[in-house]
Structure 1
Amino acid sequence: MPDAATAPETVILADGEYPAEGIPATLLAQARYVVCCDGAADAYTARGGIPSAIVGDGDSIGRTTAQRFRDILHIVPDQETNDLTKAFSFCMEQGRRELTILGATGGREDHAIGNIALLADYARQADVQMVTPYGVFNAVEGAATFDSMPRQQVSIFTIVPGTRISVRGLRYTPPAEGFRSWWCGTLNEAETNTFAIETDGPALLFRTFLRKA
């Protein structure tokens, strides 16, 4: 789980729901390096933030912000990728491989789903997590171990139907043939302070901040 006492190396701030409170707000406040997707720069600077870089296609950033930060504004006109991917690629070019993504959910649901799904691609290149007001998304392919707490809710989403999954430390065992649909792996539950998962294909994992009452 994200450690609010440890400043993230690099934060990418997307233009969804602004991380104004809780763990996301703490992570943003403590970040050593903040890359704003272009629309997020307006909200970040309006609250007193100074971005390290602003990246995007430039269609959603305010004129005043763009002028003020023109020296760190990186316009990428490519319409085949969204602003989050443009910001991610910028971080890869800068050699930044430990990334926390904030503000990627909320707002339009299609944007949120697209951003979450992109984690599976990003995770092949970097150590990346996506933190929301309610928990944290990670991508997993192969074997991995995660911190948890008893009765913490854990949901697993497979990108490809039939992806085989084995787990240790979760209450429910996935079927041997894999999940037949997205929803089938939701609302599992951690039993200890760690759990292990192994997959033969890409999957997304969500852990809630709060344990089940």
Structure 2
Amino acid sequence: MKDKVLLFINGDAPKSFPDLENYGLIACTDGAFHYLKKLGFPLDKLDFISGDFDSHSGSDEDMYEDRFILTLDQDKTDFHKAIEIILERGFGEINVFGGSGGEQDHFLGNLTVAYGFKDCMKIKFYDEFSEYYFIPNDFKLKGVKNRMISLYPFPSVNNITTKGLNWPLTNGNLSITSRIGTRNFAIENEISVEYESGDVLLFVGINEIEYPTIY
């Protein structure tokens, strides 16, 4: 069974689409529906479109009206409400496109929403620069040599140790008010991150980069 969900939300439109055959459910918020239509996305592949539809313009959108899920709760973002629908349908892993770009308060809001669901599902964001997601306190990742790696405390992480990075950490502490771990890079094909408490948002660059190796 394909247990992953592909979700488009209303940030910057993706430059390309992943293989749709890898997903058991494909959905979008109503704001993302507009850019999908402009990009020629096969709209018949969408299982649902959710939101308050304040930007609904009718016309060809009415062809997909049976897939509209109206979510009027103004105390939650459209992203939050879409995740709740996905959870109700029994899925536990989401790949999100359109989470960044545009107005940056939306970007921060999307990260905060993902943080709230991190213990019950896997949420991974993709944009043209990187993929990013919250990681458990004993984490390994392969195939990342020469790729940018950023460790962002959310809001703090204690006794963190890394291996395979150019600037390693050994029982260090990170905090958004003092020291963060951004713009590092992998010097090994596999990296590992362990920490005692707190939360870490990991950013992995999409492309390899050329950094001078410093020891």
Normalising by the smaller structure, the TM-score range is 0.7 to 0.9
Partner of 2:14: 19
CA distance in 2, matches of 1:159, 1:30: 30
The AA in structure 2 aligned to 1:45 is K
RMSD over aligned Cα atoms: 2.3
- Using the TM superposition, name which of 192-201 and 55-64 deviates more: 55-64
Alignment of 1:143-182 (within 5 A): 143-174=138-169, 176-181=171-176
Residue 179 to residue 38, structure 1, CA distance change in 2 (3 Å):
same
Q: 1:61 to 1:123 in 2, by over 3 A?
A: farther
Which has a greater percent of strand? Answer: 2
- Asked if 1:208 is matched to 2:205, the reply is yes
Is 174-183 or 33-42 further displaced after alignment? 174-183
- Deviation string 1:154-209 (CA, Å, 9 cap, x unpaired) is 00111123533221222223364512436621011112222111231121000001
Could you tell me which residue of structure 1 aligns to residue 192 of structure 2? 196
Contact 1:151–1:211 (Cα < 8 Å) also in 2: yes
TM-score normalised according to structure 2 size: 0.84
Checking the alignment, whether the CA contact within 8 Å between 1:19 and 1:28 is kept in structure 2 is: no
Matched-pair contact (CA < 8 Å) for 2:144–2:191: no
Q: Which one has the largest radius of gyration?
A: 2
Q: Distance in 2 between matches of 1:158 and 1:58?
A: 35
TM-superposed deviation, 1:97 = 1.2
- State how far apart, in whole Å, the 2-side matches of 1:122 and 1:95 are: 14
Return the offset for 1:133: 0.8
1:65 and 1:141 map into 2 onto residues whose CA distance is: 43
Q: Work out the CA distance in 1 between the residues paired with 2:113 and 2:160.
A: 20
Mapped partners of 1:141, 1:89: distance in 2? 22
Within the candidate set 34, 45, 48, 2:26 is matched to 34
* Separation in structure 2 between the aligned mates of residue 40 and residue 61 of structure 1, nearest angstrom: 12
Q: How far apart are residue 57 of structure 1 and its match?
A: 2.3
Structure 1 residues 118-127 or 12-21, which shifts more?
Answer: 118-127
Gaps of 5+ in 2: 211-215
2:107 is aligned to 112
Could you tell me whether the CA contact under 8 Å between 2:130 and 2:203 is conserved in 1?
yes
Choose which of 46, 49, 55 in structure 1 pairs with 2:42: 49
Runs of 4+ in 1 over 6 A off after TM superposition: none
Q: Which moved more, 1:133-142 or 1:155-164?
A: 155-164
1:129 pairs with one of 121, 124, 128? 124
Per-residue deviation, residues 78-101 of structure 1 (Å, max 9, x unmatched)? 111111111111110001112100
C-alpha change, 1:75 and 1:119, in structure 2 (3 Å) is same
Figure out how many residues of one structure are paired with residues of the other and give that number.
204
Query: 1:148/1:12 Cα in 2 relative to 1: closer, same or farther (>3 Å)?
Result: same
The letter for the 1-side match of 2:63 is R
CA contact (8 A) 1:169 1:194 kept: yes
CA change 1:148–1:119 in 2 (3 A) is: farther
Q: Aligned partners of 2:14 and 2:137: how far apart in 1?
A: 31
Tell whether the 8 Å contact from 1:76 to 1:86 is kept in structure 2 after alignment: yes
Identity of aligned residues (%): 21
